[in-house]
Amino acid sequence: MNPKNLYEVLLNRFGELDWWPMDIEYHKINKSDPRFEVIIGAILTQNTAWSNVEKAINNLKKAEMLNIESIDSVEPDKLKNLIRPSGFFNQKTNRLKIISKVLKEKYNSNLDYFFERNIKEIREELLELNGIGPETADSIILYAGNKPIFVVDAYTKRLCKRIPLDTELFYDEIQNYFQKNFEKKDLTKIFNNLHAMIVILAKNYCKKNPICNDCPLEKNCCYSKNNLI
């Protein structure tokens, strides 16, 4: 099995998924940029479940703070309280303040300016910011920037090991392996959908203690075939 086969099998089971979750209506009403909600979510989801991120984002909505200027200007203690449900709120407050400051001072709070560059430039700048690693940076580029880059997470690494797929289990190797297996057409949509489907697969079937019965990859997975449950 290769990434293209994987995509076809998962698509047949789960259908197309439109990620990243964002409240478009909220941003229309408040005249704010929904892409910044994605950036906030990508940082808040570090080391926590998405359900906790949703609570933090709802707090920010109620405080009308889902925009660059508000996050940049708010007192750190207030921001900490608002995002507390996401955990690690001291570190995450610092990370949100840093990226907001960069976007405001360097790009005039305009995400069009930030994302108009090529992927390499955007990625390098994000990785220079405190607390932004490859997975967070790539999530921002793919889901907020709408640019074709494949996001590798712990679920992807688990899947690569269990099937297994023909790649080393380091971030860059997995990313390059997936990206070279698709034709250069609709890549943003494909990488968006594939990452989302892998997350759903991992949460429902390919768990740490997997549920192989009815898993769409059961027939293709060596882990399942060898009864290593």
Annotated domain spans of the chain: 3-18+151-174+189-225, 32-144
Task: Give residue 227's pLDDT.
Answer: 61
Rounded to 10°, the helix 50-62/34-44 angle is 130
Encoded tokens for 109: 């709070």
Let me know: does 32 contact 67? Beta carbons within 8 Å.
yes
Fold for the domain defined by 32-144 = Endonuclease III; domain 1 (1.10.340)
Average pLDDT for 33-52: 96
pLDDT at 52 exceeding the cut of 90: yes
Q: Express each pLDDT in 2-21 by its tens digit.
A: 999 999 999 999 999 878 98
What's the confidence (pLDDT) of residue 184?
Answer: 82
Q: For residue 113, is pLDDT > 60?
A: yes
Query: What is the per-residue pLDDT across 159-200, written as a single tens digit (0 to 9) for each?
Result: 999 999 999 999 999 999 999 999 888 999 999 999 999 999
Residue 217 has pLDDT above 70, yes or no: yes
Confidence at residue 19, expressed as pLDDT on a 0 to 100 scale:
87
3-18+151-174+189-225 in CATH: which number? 1.10.1670.10
SS (H, E, C) 135-167: HHHHHHHHHHCCCCCCCCCHHHHHHHHHCCCCC
pLDDT value at 48 more than 60? yes
3-state secondary structure of 13: helix
Q: Give the residue ranges of DSSP H helices in the chain.
A: 3-14, 24-30, 34-44, 50-62, 68-73, 76-83, 89-107, 111-115, 119-128, 134-139, 154-162, 171-179, 187-204, 222-225
Indicate the pTM of the whole model.
0.94
Q: Does 32-144 match 3-18+151-174+189-225 at the fold level?
A: no
| Cα first-last separation, the chain | 20
Q: Which residues lie closer than 8 Å to 15 by C-beta, 6 or more apart?
A: none
**What is the per-residue pLDDT for 229?**
45
Highest mean pLDDT range out of 21-30, 78-87, 176-185?
78-87
